[in-house]
A and B are shown apart, each in its own frame.
Chain A
Amino acid sequence: MNSANKKIIRWTVRLVLLACAVVLAVGGPLPIMLARIFPSLSPLASAGAFIAQQRWYPGLLWAVPPVAMLALGVWKGRLFCRWICPLGTLYALPSGLIARKTFLKVRPSALLFWMIVGAWLVGVPLLLWLDPLATFNRLTPLVRGVWSPAGLVLGLIVPLMLILGAIQPMIWCTHLCPLGYCFELARSLRRPGPKAAFDQTRRSIIAGLLAGVAAAMASRRWLMGEAIASSANLPILPPGAKNPGHFASVCTRCYACVNACPMHIIQVPPPAGRSLLQWFQPELKFTDSAETPGEGYCDETCINCSQVCPTGAIMPLTLRQKRQRLIGTAKVIRPACLAWADNEYCMVCQEHCSYGAILTDESKDYIPRPVVNDKLCRGCGFCQSTCPAIRNGKAIVVCGINEQTFSDDGYADLFEYD
């Protein structure tokens, strides 16, 4: 086979896979779980999640993609980069369009990779958002039109690299990508390179590991603690997340959940009021608009986000587990409440509550007034989204919690499951 033909074949494969990556991420009629395929090809993100979870959470089936890619790396080095990686394909398109200079001579990719490994040693995944597959996926909410401004910030790395790549071809892939370096490393297990390269690698290993260990220890000491301790402003995380600190570090910011949420309530808030570790993470935002039936809350019959998360930052839940999962807790703001403040017969929150968590207080003049039963409330936000109080804003709002747990109140038993 001559090289021109090979090039045509390679580009056909790359473009088809690029299209596949977009289609699977955006979804449509396909099973929602398929959105996980491309992000979970990365052994880097998978291993990071494995270490943070301290177990292989997704089952044997989902171990196949990252292990297969790693094996491919041992066999053929950067074959993944040149044939499969959708971000690599994207970066290859404008490659060298303006110039073919090499202004970045050092290769921070080794340092970044060993930093990530260093952080693993402490048990805290860091910098997973550098994973190229997560980076690629991060842009797909744009296609679906469900993006938010803060959700684009981390995605800006793509246009930046496209521009830089037009001057120094493939600058991300060859010089910066920790996953690409990981495949090179895998290859060198079989075929060690020259000694000079190893010396440079050794420097990167030591520096990277030290920096990674230090950063991970610092973030565990301060940032994760801060994420949990600031209880006034706890994020409401997708059902299946463990706690704010864990979620912030395991989430690769691939935003597959943002795409998958049929209610569009998984959004990326601006980083204000969040610790550095939590910046640009997806969180739940329940609607504050007046009347939108069927919108703006976490539906009791939906487990989409937990099915698409490639790293288990959102653990897979069954429908039954979803109905038991506590993600927040609702609070009635009496001065704003139609029943408490205006003596109206309202109880719309009680009416819509899927879990029977709104109790009725009729002790005064027999007008029913809502009281939240914290033992039953899951924090799904249905009450908040349907509350018809408008004068002083919503009269029932959901607050985040320290740790998501399963309720054992027997409510989920009232349903039949397939």
Chain B
Amino acid sequence: MKCTRNANRGLSRRQFIQATLAGGAAALLGKRASFAMDEIAPDKTDVWVFHGEDKEALMKACLRTISDNGGFFDGARKLTLKVNAAWIRKPNQGANTHPQLVETFLNGCKDQGITELLLPEYTCDKATESFAESGILDAAKNAGARMINLQTDKHLFKDVEVPDGKNLKTARVAVDFLETDVLVNMPVAKHHGAAAMTCAMKNWMGAVEERGLFHQNNLHQCIADSCTVLRPQWTIVDATRIMLDRGPKGPTTNMNIANLLIVSRDQVAADAYAASLFPDELRKKMHFLDIAGEMKIGMTDLSQMDIHRIEVG
């Protein structure tokens, strides 16, 4: 149930399931049979972990895996990518998604038939400077994608219900994350002062306007709640370098150069794997993961995952 057109928000759970099954059935008839089979009868959650120093090669391997495992879906034209470009920090400082990964991914999407590529982002630092300093603005430009500055384009936020949310009942989400053919989450894994780690799940706070609500109503629960609405087809975690302290902005004094790319259809599973790269005392404080597991938003138990480790280059 991980994949549906996000335009379908606002449907009841039953309609949601039906629509997804119908989508799966349609795909069965097409070329992407394996994707539909996975969706209907998933045995274990797949997580692919790519290791290598060459970021372009890492992402190309990741794109092949995505393509081999259902890709996006036939006829998908618009793809919205949630990167982390929230900080005025350089790529090697590890506060934002690495621009090389972003550029390679965007180019790969065009090869898979995507014609419209959007990167909306509600930054924490000043948006124009963050976009530029992170290198992601250039990466997007080079690939013919468009970054959207949600600090200035606030009209793009719209209210959505969070029917499965416990503390978060409504949220103001940027419309392009909801009304798109394909939604992909491409966070960077790093330390976070309040949530212990920010990776895929917490990345959605950069898609939501009133972040204060999260901090006022149990941050960990709200992070999990937001992930009941914002469910990407694919999650690609940039764990090439991981800030282990002073996150999320840094500069850090303890950088783990892990050279990893973590890919899954299940953003919770991606987070759970990323969490294993952090010291135990931090892992224990990632309550949002445990909550997501309890709420069955995704898989948190590494032993229940098919973890494919792939060496690149």
Contacts and interface: CB of A to CB of B under 8 A. Distances in A.
Contact of A354 (B122, B210, B212, B249): B249
A386 B251 contact: no
Interface in B212-234: 212, 215-220
B122 to A, nearest CB: 7
A374 interface: no
Contacts, number: 78
Given A291-B211, A352-B249, A338 B216 contact: yes
A344 interface: yes
Majority-rule SS of A interface residues: loop
Contacts of B53: none
A345 to B, nearest CB: 4
B251 A338 contact: no
Nearest to B217: A344
A60 B212 CA distance: 50
A294 B195 contact: no
B246 A351 contact: no
Interface in A335-376: 338, 342, 344-348, 350-354, 356, 358, 360, 366, 368
Contact of B88 (A300, A353, A368, A386): A300
B251 A414 contact: yes
Nearest to B125: A294
A415 B250 CA distance: 11
Contacts of B187: none
Query: On chain B, which size bracket covers the interface?
Result: 20 to 34
Contacts of A347: 193-194
A392 interface: no
Given A291-B211, A366-B285, A368-B193, A345 B126 contact: no
A346 B251 contact: no
A388 interface: yes
Contacts of A388: 211-212, 215-216
Interface string B85-128: 00010100000000000000000000000000000001111110
B127 A294 contact: yes
Nearest to A358: B193
A345 B220 CA distance: 8
A345 B129 contact: no
A366 B90 CA distance: 32
A390 interface: yes
Contact of B215 (A338, A352, A354, A366): A338
B251 A351 contact: no
A344 B219 CA distance: 7
A283 interface: no
B298 interface: no
B212 A290 contact: yes
B256 interface: no
A346 B219 contact: yes
A416 B127 CA distance: 20
B67 interface: no
Given A294-B124, A356-B250, 10 more contacts: A291-B212, A293-B123, A294-B127, A301-B88, A338-B215, A345-B195, A351-B124, A351-B249, A366-B285, A415-B251
Interface of B: 88, 90, 122-127, 129, 133, 151, 192-195, 210-212, 215-220, 246, 248-251, 285, 287
15 contacts: A290-B212, A293-B125, A293-B127, A294-B151, A300-B88, A301-B88, A344-B215, A345-B194, A345-B218, A351-B248, A352-B124, A352-B249, A353-B249, A368-B193, A390-B212
